[in-house]
Amino acid sequence: MPVEASATPDALLVMLVGGATLLAVMARHVCGWLRIPPLVGYILIGLGLRLVGAPLEWLNTPVITAFELLAALGLVALLFRIGLESDPRRLLAKLPGASLIWAVSVITAGLAGYAGARWVGFDPLPAGVAGVALTATSIGVSIPPWQQAGALRSESGSVALDVAELDDISGVVLMAVLLSLIPVLQTGEAIAWGTVAGTTAALLTSLVAFAAACWLFAHWAEPPLARFLANRERPPAPMLVVVALGSLIAALAGLLGFSLAVGALFAGLIFSKAPGRVREDEAYRVLHDFLAPFFFIGIGLKLDPTALIGALGAGAGLLVAAVAGKLVGTALPARWAAPRGSALPLGVSMVPRAEIAMVIMDQARRFGPEVVPPTLYGAMTLVTLVTCAATPSVVQVLLARRPQLAQSSASPR
C-alpha cells in the first residue's frame, strides 16, 4: 500500500532519530577505542546529518523542530548530571583551598578568550560571549585521566576535581548574567554602566532567591518525597518523578529568564545529597544516554559547513587563547596553592572546553548572528573538538611522569 503524504514526515523523523541514536551508540564505542571523548563523535554525527540531509531535503521544519526539542532535553540531561555529581557542602569546605586557583583561572581564561576573539576580528559583544564561554572547563573530559591514573583521590586529584566543578558552576552563573545583559548591550548605543549594574544586580538577586528556593526544596521536601516513592512506587516510577521534577525546575528557570541550563544545574544539585540513588537507577542511565548526545548532535546540525571552513583561522586564534588562558591561569596559582609538581597537570586538565562552553554559545546564539556569528560558532566548535580530543592523552603522559601525585592522599570524597 502506498504511504500517505502526511505520514512521510513522521516516518522520516523517526528514521533520522533512530539512525542518530544508533550512530551515537557506535560513536561512543569508537571514541572509547580511540580514547577521545564521545562528544567529538556526536558533533560529527550532527554535521554529517547536515551535510547529507540538506541536499536530500530531509531537514524540513518538523525534523528541525524535533531535533531542537531533543537538543533541549539533552541540555537538561547534561546540566542535571553536572549538578547531581557536585557536592555543594564539600565544595564550600574545599573553597578556601581551591578558590585561588579557580578565581585566577576563570579571570585569566575569560580575558584571554575576549582578547583572542578581538584579535581574530570579532566585535566586542561576540568577543565577550567567547570570553565567558572559555571560562569553563569540561569536568567530563578533564577528570577521567586522573581516574585512570589512580590519582583522583590524591590531594592533587582532589584539587583538580574541585577546580573543575567550581569552573562549571561559575560558568553557568556567568552565562545567566551574560544572557540578561545581551539585550542591553545589543542596542548599539554607548554602554550605560548604571543600567548594566542594575540589570546584573537584579539578575543576581533573582538567582539567589531561586537558589534559596531550591535549597529549601532539597532540605525539606526531597528527603520525605524520596522515602515516599521508595515505599509506595516500584521502578521506574521514582525515577520518572525525579525526571519530571528536574524538567519542571529547568523550565521554571527558563521562564524566569535564567535559561534551561541554570535550572537543570540547580535541579541536579537538589538531588546531589544522594547521587548514587539516581545515577545507579537503570531508568536514569537509559534516559541520560539517550538524550545527552542530542545536545551535541544539535550543535553539529547548526554548523554551516561554509562558515566552518571559514572559521579555521578564527578557530586557531581562539584555540591559542583557550589553551593559554587555562594553562597559565591554572598553573601559576597552583604553584602556591597545590601539591608540588601538580601545577602543569592541573593546568592542562583545565584546557578542555565542551559542555558548558557550547551551552553558553548555544544559548547566546538565540539572540541572533550579531551576537554569535556563524564563524564564531564554528570556531568555538573547533576549539571544543581539538581540546577535547587532544588533552586527555597529554594529561595521562604528565601523570605517568609524576607517580608521586597519586601517592599523596586526600580525605575521602
Report the pLDDT value the prediction gives residue 5, as an integer from 0 to 100.
Answer: 43
pLDDT tens over the chain, length 413 residues: 444 444 466 888 899 999 999 999 999 999 999 888 999 999 999 999 999 887 777 888 888 999 999 999 999 999 998 888 877 777 777 667 688 999 999 999 999 999 999 999 999 999 999 999 999 998 888 888 998 888 888 888 888 988 988 898 899 999 999 999 998 888 766 666 777 788 888 888 999 999 999 999 988 998 898 888 888 878 888 888 888 999 999 999 988 888 888 999 999 988 887 666 676 677 888 889 999 999 999 999 998 888 888 899 999 999 999 999 999 999 999 998 888 889 999 999 999 998 899 999 999 999 999 999 999 999 999 999 999 999 999 999 999 888 877 665 554 44
Report the pLDDT value the prediction gives residue 95, as an integer from 0 to 100.
Answer: 67
Contact 349, 321 (CB under 8 A): no
Report the pLDDT value the prediction gives residue 2, as an integer from 0 to 100.
Answer: 43
Mention every residue, 6+ apart, whose C-beta is less than 8 A from residue 94.
158, 162
The span from the CA of 353 to the CA of 388, in Å, is 7
Report the pLDDT value the prediction gives residue 413, as an integer from 0 to 100.
Answer: 41
The span from the CA of 187 to the CA of 80, in Å, is 34
Report the pLDDT value the prediction gives residue 407, as an integer from 0 to 100.
Answer: 64
Report the pLDDT value the prediction gives residue 412, as an integer from 0 to 100.
Answer: 41
The span from the CA of 392 to the CA of 142, in Å, is 7
- Residue 152 has φ and ψ, to the nearest 5°, of -65, -35
Report the pLDDT value the prediction gives residue 390, as an integer from 0 to 100.
Answer: 92
Report the pLDDT value the prediction gives residue 135, as an integer from 0 to 100.
Answer: 96
